[in-house]
Structure 1
Amino acid sequence: MSAFDDLLAANRTYAEEFGDGGFDGVAHAGVAIVTCMDSRIEPLGMLGLGLGDAKIFRNPGGRVTPQAMEALVLGVHLLNVKRILVVPHTRCAVASQSEAELRAKLAESAGQDASWLHLHVIEDQVRALGEDVAKVRSHPFIPDDVEVGGFIYDVDTGLLNQKI
């Protein structure tokens, strides 16, 4: 018995009715989203989008990391992206706890020293969001006609609040 049997069974059921093959891989709504890995966020659903409409990059805190920037550049130049949303969220673990607190929790869970681990906590979420939006807007491979906005998603109401 595999730890993945339940997921593979669910996938087989999903595949039996799968009718969404053949997409070309471009963002049909022209949207890219950088958001957190938090499972309370449904990036497509929160914007009224569907399969094939957007490119989505997720990481802890929804930060514009070098990897996220790479995805955005590719999206803009190769995949029809015309609008970019950077979307952290309320009650985010990396924005509401210190690095020391997170390291202590990891050390307890893993049973080993986590003092060496850098966790990229966010001390001021709105300031970090502003930095990330500025980073995208000023990137030499993001043209001026690409719209870039910074939003905070409220995990308790489902609302996006534009901050930048």
Structure 2
Amino acid sequence: MQDIIMYTDGSSRGNPGPGGYGTILMAGQKTKELSHGFRKTTNNRMELMAVIAGLEAMKKTGLNITIYSDSQYVVKAVKEGWLNKWLATNFAKGKKNKDLWVKFYNLSTKHHLKFVWVKGHADNPYNNRCDELATSAADGKNLDIDEGYEMDPERLIL
């Protein structure tokens, strides 16, 4: 079975503010780009959403996927076991983005994932392209609602 390479990036114009993600999927000679924008979100949410979007695009299970991200938040959460602790404590002590981390975790169990941190805004053309996709999506028109962010009970004013 062919290995998949995934590059991801997220962007937020303000934190919170309009945001977007960019994802590049590569398998052999095939390449697919994904991006989407939201009207109010955070950078960390978009970094994680970029990975989720890539995983959701997979049509098969059991794939070997190497994920390149410039987000230490995402990479360290997985590689250093933060996510496992957050799941075990049901995201106690105000850990953010529970909705996306649970979604990521459920998708991640279907594949064999390896995370690699890359320096952002450097000389990696795939990371730079993901940044272009993410910022273009954040700057787009008719942005969607990031319901996990905007409808979070802790953020709603009653």
**TM range, smaller chain:** 0.3 to 0.5
Higher relative contact order (CA 8 A, sep 6+): 2
Normalised by the length of structure 1, the TM-score is 0.33
More strand by share: 2
